[in-house]
Amino acid sequence: MNHEDEVEVLEMALIWLMLGYLAGSSPTGYLVVKYLKGVDIRDHGSGNVGATNAGRILGRNWGIAIALFDMLKGGIIVWIAWAAGAGHMTMALTGAAAVLGHNYPFWLHYRGGKGVATTFGVFAFFDFFNPWPALIGGAVWYLMLRYAKYVSISSMIGLFAATIAMPIFGMPRPYYIAALLLSCLSIWRHRSNIVRILEGSEVKID
C-alpha cells in the first residue's frame, strides 16, 4: 500500500468514526421523555439519559422501547459500515465511536447514558453472522438481573461475558479488543453504582 492509499484509508476510518459518533449521540431517552412528559430526564431519577432511567419516568414498556432503539442506533451504523465495504478494524472503531456518542453526546453537553444497550447492539452487529457472543452476553445479563436484581451489575457482567465469548467463537481480534475496552468503559460509567452497591444503598429492581 503506497502513501496515498494509506491516507485514503485513514480518511475513511475518520469518516466512519464521525458517523458512528453521530449515530450513537442521538439522545433517545432525553427526546422521548421531553416529548411525552415535558421534562428534562437529567433532572429526574439517576439523572441518566439511558433506558433504565427513562423507564423509571415513563414506565417499563417505554424503557424497553428506548433500550431497543439505543441498541439499533449502535448496531445499524456498524452494519452500514460493513455494507459499504469497511474492514474489521474500521467496523470496530465505528461501533466504539457509537458508544462514545451515546455516553458523551455533544447535543447534551456530553451528559449521556452509560452505554449498555448501545454496546450490546454494537456487539450484536460486529459479526451478525456469528451472533453467539452477543446472545450469551444477553443471557448472562438477564440471569444476573433476575437473581441479583441490580441493573448495573447485570450490565457489566453481561458485557464482559459477551467479550470473553468473542475469541472463543472465532471473532476477529479488532472486535474483542474493542469489546474489552467498551466493557471497561462500562465499569467507569457505573462507578457511582459500584460505590452504592458497596455501601448497600443501590436500588434493586422489582
- Residues with Cβ within 8 Å of 174's Cβ and at least 6 positions away in sequence, in order, are 88, 89, 91, 92, 93
Structure confidence by residue, pLDDT tens digits, 163-195: 999 999 999 999 999 999 999 999 999 999 999
For residue 143, is it within any domain? yes
3-class SS of residue 39: coil
**pLDDT interval class at 134 (50, 70, 90):** very high
Residue that has been written with the C-alpha cell 465495504 in this structure: 85
Contact by Cβ (8 Å): 34, 41: yes
* 10 compared with 56, residue with greater pLDDT: 56
Residue with cell 447485570: 154
In a domain, 204, yes or no: no
Q: Is residue 140 part of a domain?
A: yes
φ/ψ of residue 48, rounded to 5: -85, 150
C-alpha angle 123-74-170 in degrees, rounded to nearest 5: 20
Cα-trace Rg, the chain: 17
* Cell of residue 137, nine digits: 452476553
Q: Which amino acid does the sequence have at 126?
A: F
Is 71 within the bounds of a domain? yes
* Percentage of the chain modeled with pLDDT above 90: 75
Is 79 contained in some domain? yes
Residue 206 lies in a domain: no
Residue 159 placed within a domain = yes
In the chain, the number of structural domains is 1
Place of cell 448497600: 200
Digit-coded pLDDT (tens) for 18-69: 999 999 999 999 999 999 988 899 888 878 888 888 988 998 899 999 999 9
Residue 178 lies in a domain: yes
Q: Please tell me whether residue 131 adopts helix, strand or coil conformation.
A: coil
pTM check: above 0.85: yes
d(CA 182, CA 196): 22
- Cell 433504565 found at: 52
For residue 83, the enclosing domain spans 3-199
